[in-house]
Structures are given as C-alpha cells and as structure tokens.
Structure 1
Amino acid sequence: RTFSIKIGSTTHTGWLRAEFVPERHHVVLQVSDSLHGVLPLLIRRVRAWLDLDADPQAIHRVLHRRFPHSEGLRVPGTLDGFELAVRAVLGQQITVAAARTLAQRLVDVFGDPINTPIPELTRLFPSAAVLAQLSGDALGQLGIVKQRQNAILALARALDSGQLALHGGAQVHSTIEALKALPGIGDWTAQYIAMRALRWPDAFPAGDVALHKALGVQDAPNVRLASLAAEAASQAWKPWRSYAVLRAWAELPARAKTTAKNIKNIATHA
C-alpha cells in the first residue's frame, strides 16, 4: 500500500508491502527507498497496524470463558488514522462494495499521484489538508451523500486545524467525545476509530446490531435496552473489550456478519 507522513515541513511518501511468513511466524516488510528516512517510525506504525505487540495469552485469560475458540485473534490498527476515519464514515449503512467504490473515487480524484512498482497503487489517500478545502458539492459529485459529506469535511478540518488527533497515544475519552460532536459521527463510528486508530484495547460499540446478535441480546424490546445489556455483559471483558468485539463478530454466522464484513473491508485498505 502507499504511505505518506508529514514531519515538520517535510512530507515523506512511498509504498510498502507486508507479507506474512506463517512457518517462521514473521512478517517481512518491504519499503520504498523514499521512506528510509522515516523507517523507525514506519516500523512502529506497521507493528500497530498488525497489532504485533499484543499479548494474546493475557488477553485470552480474560476472554476465554465467553470466547474459548478465538485465541490469538488480533485487532487491526491502521497506518493512517485519518484515512481509517474517512473509510469508516464512507462505510456507514452501505455495502462493502459500495464503500470501496466511494473510497476509490475519492483517491482517484483527490489523491496525489505516486510511482510504485505495484500496478494497483498509483495514488496516495488524500490528506486532511486537501479534503478540508473541499466543498460538500465536490464530494457529492462522487456519489457521497450529504450526511457523509458533512462528516468527512468536519473530520478533515478538525485534523487539519490540530483540534483532533487520530493516532496511538491520543487521549481516548476526549477524542471519542470530540468525534461524536462532529456531524454524522455517532458512538459506533467513534468507538471503532478509537479501537483502531487510537489503538484503544477497551473500545466497545454497545449499539452495534451485529454485536447484539453475537451476544444474544437482540431480542430485547428495543435497541437501547439491547445496548445496555451488551454493555453490562462487556464489563467482564475489561480492559480487552476491543478484542471481545472481534471475537463476537467472528462467531456470527455468515448471513449476520454485516459489521464484521465492514471491519474486514477497512482493515484491508487502511
């Protein structure tokens, strides 16, 4: 995939390829020469992206009673918190294929071109600074509906102005509240961004319908009561509720995996 990071007044761009080697329990990382100057930072980002610093045994000790068959399941992070947040917004209430199409249009129109040896990688994901300057109409021409336009523009402007930070080490609870204060971003999206971009191991989108099904609380009289029941059940899984969410989604039968499909979509591209 492509990668871009700004340090001071210098923007470093390039590409990378990560390949799992199961028989060696290794990940082999190939990086373009243009990124060698930020290699230590990039390696830290990749480790977070692939959740390589997790302690599966410690996590499983807390979760094994409810989720005995998912030991070792990791929570994917991201190389770019802004990209992940935009993709999460684009994926709201639409199919995986439709979300991918919208994200690709965004990249094709507003992403800077980049040369790579990988035919499919020709542009960078547009930065917050670029999208912050756009109008809603510019996004609307790509097929992005009004609510998502407002959310993406608000995200871009908040990050570009420094009012919001979406990376590991950012203050979790204030960031979640800041995200929820933006138009078009509710608790599910904010918790999901915290889970992956902020690397918060205890995120829990209590209102997620697929999660309700996985936890067996979907028959509550309404979504609010189902959410309260899910939240109550989750207290036993602290401080690893992000991992519990992925284990719960993984238990769903194929026809019920709408949310799980969305996380796979975003994980593949972010």
Structure 2
Amino acid sequence: MPNNTTSPSAAPDHAAAADPARAATVAVVTGAGSGIGRAVALELAAAGWSVALAGRRAEALRETAELAPDGADLLTVPTDVTRPEEVDALFAAVRDRFGRLGLLFNNAGAFGPPGPLEDLSYDAWRSVVDVNLNGAFLCAQAAFRLMKEQEPRGGRIINNGSISAHVPRPHSVAYTATKHAITGLTKSLSLDGRPYDIACGQIDIGNAATEMTGRMRTGILQANGQTAVEPVMDAADVARTVLHMAQLPLAANVQFATVMATTMPYIGRG
C-alpha cells in the first residue's frame, strides 16, 4: 500500500534531505484529487517520486492515493489554493516531511459557468480568477521561496496553461483571461528564477478526457455557433509529458509544450 499521511506535522525525512538525487524527486501536485492532477501525481509516483497531493477535497485525495503503486511515498494535504494560510501550511508540510522540493505542478483550476459575457456575475468571475490565477501565484510564490532557500537550491515549476492560453472558446472569458495570465506568470517565474536555479515551464493541454471536458464528448459550442462533439485524448498522455519535463536537469527547460487530441479544433479554431 502507498505510504501516505494527512498530517502536516509528519516528521522530516532526513534521508531524503541527505540524498540530493532522492530529494530532487519530491513534487507537489495541486488539484490532485481528479483529472490531470490525479494522472500526473500517479505518473510521478510510479516513476519513484515522493508526491504531496493537494486539493480541496480530502476524500478525493485519498482516492488518488489508493490508486498509487504499492510503496509510493505520498503526503496528502487538503488545501484550498485561494487561501494564503492553507498554501503556506501545504509547503511547510512538504518541507517538514521531505526536507526540500524538486517540483511544483501548478494545476488546480476551474472553468466557471459557461454563458454570454454579459450574464457572467462578478462573483463567478472572481471565483475563477481566485483559483486559476491567484491560487497559481500563491503556490508558485511558496514553492519559489522554498526552492530558493533550500540547499542545494533550485527546482522546477510547471504551470498548467491550456489551449485557452492561446485562443478562446465561446463564452469562456474568465477562464481564457486567467489562462493568458498564466503565460505571463510562467515567463516571469522563468526570468526571476534564473539566479536561483529555478526553472519554470508551461504545459498547454487540449481536450484531455477528464471531468472538466465531459461536455466535449456530448457536444460543445463552436465559434461558428454550431454545437459539435470534439475528440479527446487520454489524460495519461499529458502525465507522461509532464514527467518528461520534470525529469530534465535544471540546466534544460521545456518552456512551453502543447499536448492535445490530434484532431481537436485548435489549429484553425474559429
């Protein structure tokens, strides 16, 4: 069974801190209770990484942990990424348990209610911005601080962008605006991280088969006003790409990667 705990006060893993090769393979995955986050967490665990599973739903995190390979080294920390105090507690728990951090997969996100821009409430707009942008910033900031201070210093941050970081869907103003902002966050983190051996890249994902993309398999609004079913790909294909990005030495970085269902309407969207 996986070695997992929900206690933020778990004892430090001094063996990991003393072994740089092992310590480098410590990851935090946000939004780990479902979808892309779950797939990436399981892929990292299968590759031998120690993984902190973060997300709002404790039960969903436990379900992810139960799917991990026997012997996986997991820490489950229920976390609302929109709350600074909970983000601080997450990274403190990682520091206390593992001694350092090698990777943040900044993945937690929300699409928000689809509909005409003029009908979008401010509360709905703010909710998407809080999760997708403010949450990503808070987690990146906490990871950056830890990676900068640890010895040896450095690490990697991978932000989950989206195809919507490039082009919008109809009725997606909040999601699209935040995903464009994630690209700016990625670039700033890359620049500001250079002196401290902190690399930052972004993976832009199109139509992975998750709960969020369920509408695509039944029919979703297109730019021409029609509704069409869109192809999807296995979330495991995304997870393998994240693992590749994560395993690179810090001297190399995948700045931006796009992984998508081959025939989805992206090239030529609109």
TM-score w.r.t. the length of structure 2 is 0.27
Normalized per residue, which structure has more helix? Answer: 1
